[in-house]
Amino acid sequence: MPARRDCGVNVADCLFCKIVAGKVPAKIVKQSADALAFRDIDAKAPVHLLVIPKRHVPAVRDAKGGDGERLLGALLAFAASVASDEGLDPDGYRIVTNTGRNAGQSVDHLHLHVLGGRKLSWPPG
Ligand code: 5GP
Ligand code: ZN
C-alpha cells in the first residue's frame, strides 16, 4: 500500500515526486540535498522556476514543527540562490507559493514559483 498524505495524493502518483525520482523529465537547473529547482513547463515570465522539497509535503501549511520550519527556511534561501544564479539580481524577482484551491494550487506538492526577467505587476490577480 503506497503512503498516503493528508492531501489524499498517493506519493507514488504525485507529479513532482515523479520529477524528483527522475520518472518524469524536467529541465532541472539546481539541486541540493533537500531541494530541486526546475523550469516551469508553462512559463509566465522570461524566468519561471519551481523550487520544491525532495520529500513530499502537500503545501506550505503542512510544513509544521522544527523540521518543517527548517525545511521552509532552506527552501526560501535555495530559491533566492537560484534566482541569483539566473541573473535576476539586482533587478528583482518574485517568490510565491499558492496554497489551496482559492489560490489556484494545482499540484499538491509544495512548490515556490520564482518569477523574473520582466516587470511584475502587483497585486497578482
Ligand atoms: P500551482 O498552480 O500549483 O501554483 O503551480 C503548478 C505549476 O506546475 C504550474 O505553473 C504548472 O505550469 C507547472 N507544471 C505542471 N505540470 C508540470 C510538468 O509536468 N512539468 C513542469 N516542469 N511544470 C509543470
Ligand atoms: Zn509529491
pLDDT by residue (tens digit) across 57-88? Answer: 999 999 999 999 999 999 999 999 999 999 99
Residue nearest to atom 17 of ligand 1 (CA): 41
CA angle 87, 85, 67 (to 5 degrees): 130
pLDDT for the residue numbered 12: 82
Length of the chain (residues): 125
Q: What is the pTM of this model?
A: 0.94
Ligand in nearest proximity to the CA of 52: 2
Residue 36 pairs with which residues in a beta bridge? 31, 52
pLDDT for the residue numbered 11: 80
Give catalytic residues, as residue numbers.
Answer: 111
Q: Note the helical H segments in the chain.
A: 15-21, 65-85
Mutating to test ligand 1, I would choose from 36, 50, 95, 109 the residue with most ligand atoms within 8 A of its C-beta, which is 50
Alpha-carbon dihedral angle through residues 101, 28, 19, 60, given to the nearest 10 degrees: -30
Ligand in nearest proximity to the CA of 111: 1
Positive/negative CA dihedral, 41, 44, 46, 52: negative
Weakly modelled stretches of the chain, pLDDT under 70 = 1-8
